[in-house]
Amino acid sequence: MNPETSSRQHERRWLILAMVGVAQLMVVLDATIVNIALPSAQQELGFSNGSRQWVVTAYALAFGSLLLIGGRMGDYFGRKRVLIGGLIGFALASAIAGLAQSFTVLVAARALQGVFGALLAPSALSILTTTFADPRERGRAFGIYGAIAGGGGAIGLLLGGVLTQYIDWRSTMFVNLLFAVPAAAAALVLLVNERPTARAKLDLPGTATATTGLFALVYGFSNAETHGWGAPLTIGSLAASVVLLATFVLLQARGKHPLLPLRIVLDRDRGGSLLAMGIVGSGMFGVFLFLTYYLQRTLGFSPVKTGLAFLPMMATIVTSATLVSTRILPRTGPRPLIPTGMVIAGIAMLLLTRVGLHTGYASHVLPSLIVVGLGMGMVFAPAMATATADVRPEDAGVASALVNTMQQVGGSIGVALLSTLSATATTAFIASHGGPTPSTLAGAAVHGYTTAFWWAAGILFFGALPAALLLRPGPQRQAPEGVPALAH
């Protein structure tokens, strides 16, 4: 970005942050807003219980598998163009989903949302990365952005509950137009149309292996949730993902114009931050899923009340992320913060294992949500800031895409893994308690939820160790302008 362009965007930086925040919020909440609307959509369109997961999975598959190429498209064609195109495409896909009269159209529209989400999310984050240069302001901006990334799912649950309960399930799709259209208009006015100085050739073999490899990975775990780990399609998909992703790494190491230059991930601070994003995504996405079921099916909360129940967590994430990014991260660096946040989130998962058939929200759920919000704020904002710090300008888009990729793929894997473990525990509980009586079924459901919370705690505790070993001690070094501080 030339100095004149950089100066103009710097003057508008807080308005740009607001625009980027709206775009990111739409992408994050769209992963959860449909959960509460699913029963109503299923009743109206008449699809089976076995099929309903694809309304959620179609979005995750497209989004997770295309993020890397989405990030590189921003570097290649210019982030303003790609961001606006992604926002407009997302709005159109949302309108199609809201008008869907069949299950097939709904799933196709959800996949299309994922495609355009994969375009706009990396561009939004890389615009933020290149707009805020001052370390203190950058910390504040990433604190806000991290709070949105960490708490957007809770907002999605609340918004989905309100819209479904008071309007209908289709409004959870149409509401995206209220985010996407104003954000696209603001981007058109606020952003300067940067022109990439040099366009390297697109890495087509790398794009093909990365996209299909990530698709096979997410699909394999999703298929395990419904058909089991021993199903041929599950085994074949996971095996194919290993081969394809290994081939991708080899291509990136040898290619002249790699989709993902390995220098981005081989840096210790950046690699540790990306690993933390993936592990926390794996452990934390289960909070939204299983706690939502517990609140609605066991405690009898309405959709709106369920969404409101998550608000304390959101408030804690905002406070924690902002405080950590502006006051602590510049002094300590990410090493003491990210692993500690993961351990705190793990403690929150242990607290959630205390829930039962007759425990209360205030005594057993609320304390856990506050603790998990504190931990997530300590992870998301520092990890995002560290993972995107001091990359070369031509790599900003793909580095930003990696952050989203790790969170999305980690979350998809975590939900599938924890769902499978929960279902196994539920079945075993029923078998050991004399069969499916109403009281046994209720107890089995809670046993399944708490089993998932135990496993989520283990994922977070054990994941904190490699993150701590990878991250360097001390604050990040400040490099002269144009020299990447993290590159060696």
- State the pLDDT confidence band at 488, using cuts at 50, 70 and 90: very low
Task: Tell me how far apart the alpha carbons of residues 439 and 428 are, in angstroms, rounded to a whole number.
Answer: 15
- State the pLDDT confidence band at 195, using cuts at 50, 70 and 90: low
Question: 41-53, pLDDT tens digit by residue?
Answer: 888 998 876 677 7
Say which residues have a Cβ less than 8 Å from residue 56's Cβ, sequence separation at least 6: 31, 34, 35, 38, 110
- State the pLDDT confidence band at 197, using cuts at 50, 70 and 90: low
C-alpha separations of 66 from 47, 259, 355 in Å? 27, 12, 38
Asked if the model's pLDDT at residue 78 lies above 70, the reply is yes
* pLDDT confidence of residue 379: 93
Could you give the percent of the chain with pLDDT greater than 70?
93
Assign 3-class secondary structure to 104-145.
Answer: HHHHHHHHHHHHHHHHHHHHHHHHHHHHCCCHHHHHHHHHHH
Task: Tell me how far apart the alpha carbons of residues 9 and 482 are, in angstroms, rounded to a whole number.
Answer: 18
- State the pLDDT confidence band at 127, using cuts at 50, 70 and 90: confident
The more confidently predicted of residues 237 and 322 is 237
Could you give the percent of the chain with pLDDT greater than 90?
40
* pLDDT confidence of residue 6: 60
Residue 476 phi, psi (nearest 5): -65, 140
Averaged pLDDT for residues 105-111: 95
Q: Count CA atoms closer than 13 A to 352's CA, side-chain side.
A: 34
Side chain identity at 392, as an amino acid letter? R
Averaged pLDDT for residues 166-185: 93
- State the pLDDT confidence band at 487, using cuts at 50, 70 and 90: very low
* pLDDT confidence of residue 483: 33
Task: Tell me how far apart the alpha carbons of residues 83 and 127 are, in angstroms, rounded to a whole number.
Answer: 9
* pLDDT confidence of residue 481: 37
- State the pLDDT confidence band at 485, using cuts at 50, 70 and 90: very low
* pLDDT confidence of residue 102: 94
* pLDDT confidence of residue 235: 94
* DSSP run (H or E) holding 449: helix 438-470
Asked if the model's pLDDT at residue 202 lies above 80, the reply is no
- State the pLDDT confidence band at 486, using cuts at 50, 70 and 90: very low
Q: Does domain 3-192+259-470 have CATH number 3.10.129.10?
A: no
Task: Tell me how far apart the alpha carbons of residues 251 and 206 are, in angstroms, rounded to a whole number.
Answer: 6
> Which burial class, exposed, middle or buried, applies to 366 when counting CB atoms under 10 A from its CB (0-12, 13-18, 19+)?
middle
The more confidently predicted of residues 94 and 306 is 94
CA proximity to 267, closest of 334, 330, 204, 355 = 334
In three-state secondary structure terms, 394 is helix
Highest mean pLDDT among 7-21, 412-426, 444-458: 444-458
Averaged pLDDT for residues 167-182: 93
Mean pLDDT value across the chain? 86
Length of the chain: 488
The more confidently predicted of residues 256 and 273 is 273
Task: Tell me how far apart the alpha carbons of residues 423 and 447 are, in angstroms, rounded to a whole number.
Answer: 10
Highest mean pLDDT among 22-31, 230-239, 315-324: 230-239
CA proximity to 368, closest of 313, 289, 429, 428 = 313
Q: What is the CA radius of gyration of the chain?
A: 22
Say which residues have a Cβ less than 8 Å from residue 363's Cβ, sequence separation at least 6: none
* pLDDT confidence of residue 480: 34
Asked if the model's pLDDT at residue 268 lies above 50, the reply is yes
* pLDDT confidence of residue 188: 92
Alpha helices per DSSP H over 388-432: 396-432
C-alpha separations of 480 from 4, 5, 119, 388, 486 in Å? 20, 20, 31, 17, 12
**Where are the chain's structural domains?**
3-192+259-470, 207-258
Question: 404-424, pLDDT tens digit by residue?
Answer: 788 878 887 887 788 888 888
Averaged pLDDT for residues 115-129: 88
DSSP assignment string, 280-292: HHHHHHHHHHHHH
Least reliable range by pLDDT among 162-176, 332-346, 374-388, 469-483: 469-483
